[in-house]
Amino acid sequence: MTSKIFSPKITAVIESLRKLPTIGKKSSQRLALYLLDKSPETAIAIANSLLDATANVRKCAYCQALTEDDVCNICSNNNRDDTKLCIIESMLDMIAIEEAGIYRGKYFVLNGRISPLDGIGPSELKLDILEQIIAKREIDEVILAISPTVEGETTAHFISQMIAKDTKISRIGFGVPFGGELEYLDQQTLLHAFNARTNI
């Protein structure tokens, strides 16, 4: 029905926007019409910044976070605690933890969770790189800050099994409900989750 109302080019913009997370049919239509009709200069600015970013942004050689440099700001910061490694699912989790000001160690971003149904296994999460980092660094504690979903539990179990037994492994969890996503937690809940983490 949409294709009969809108021209092919407008339809293409709408369908492109629908590919974004949490953007449904109505939202994509509203955004497309706003950008094309009310604010074409914003549309051009967004397009240019996306083109520039996709050409220049890459994953950090260590933690896999997005960065314009080979090594991100956190990994290259000598004031961070090298002995602690917090494993998270996404950069949104990193942002939540950093904004809460509860952690001063380094990170490893999985960029997903193990999910066989979605075709995501250990290799897609770059767990081989994680294994090398843990083997090379003098890490005292690995903190699993992974959402307590079914896929998150599977991922946490797999990672805990691949880490050497003499390395301390802890898991956040206090105040994090099963099925909850870390990025949506408030700062106080995150603080309690980190302070009350349990050893595995």
Does residue 13 belong to any structural domain of this protein?
yes
Helix (H) / strand (E) element for 84: namely: strand 81-88
Contact 200, 169 (CB under 8 A): yes
Tokens in use for 168? Answer: 């301390």
Angle, CA 117 vertex, CA 113 and CA 122 arms, to 5°: 40
pLDDT of residue 37: 92
Please, are residues 131 and 87 in contact by the beta-carbon 8 Å criterion?
no
For the four alpha carbons of 153, 115, 69 and 163, in that order, the dihedral sign comes to positive
Same domain? For 42 and 102 the reply is no
pLDDT of residue 31: 96
- Tens of pLDDT along 89-126? 999 999 989 998 989 999 999 999 998 888 898 888 98
Whether the CA torsion 76, 79, 82, 88 is positive or negative: it is negative
Q: In whole angstroms, how far apart are CA 4 and each of 8, 12, 15, 31, 34?
A: 9, 13, 14, 19, 19
The pLDDT score that the predictor gives to residue 165 is 78
From 161, 171, 7, select the one nearest 88 (Cα to Cα).
171
Residue 141 lies in a domain: yes
- Judgement on whether residues 132 and 35 belong to the same structural domain of the protein: no
Rounded CA gap, 29 and 92, in Å? 26
168-171 and 198-199: which strand pairing? Answer: antiparallel
Domain range for residue 130? 66-199
- The CATH number that applies at residue 6 is 1.10.8.420
**In a shared domain, residues 39 and 136:** no
Task: Let me know whether 147 and 178 are in one domain.
Answer: yes
- Which domain CATH number covers 149? 3.40.1360.10
Q: Are residues 99 and 121 in the same domain?
A: yes
CB 159 within 8 A of CB 108: no
Verify that 51 and 73 share a domain, yes or no: no
Same domain, 35 and 113: no
Q: Are 100 and 13 found together in one domain? A: no
> Quick one: pLDDT at residue 45?
96
Q: Is the domain of 96 the same as that of 179?
A: yes
- The answer to whether residues 46 and 78 belong to one domain is no
For the chain, the domain total comes to: 2
Hunting for tokens 């004031």 — which residue is that?
79
Residue 61 lies in a domain: no
User: Do residues 124 and 187 share a domain?
Assistant: yes
Whether residue 182 lies inside any domain: the answer is yes
Residue count of the chain, please give it: 200
Give the mean pLDDT per block of 10 residues along the chain (200 residues): 79 96 95 93 96 97 95 96 95 91 94 89 89 89 89 90 86 60 69 72
The reported pLDDT for the residue numbered 176 is 53
pLDDT at 123: 85
Q: Are residues 77 and 43 in the same domain?
A: no
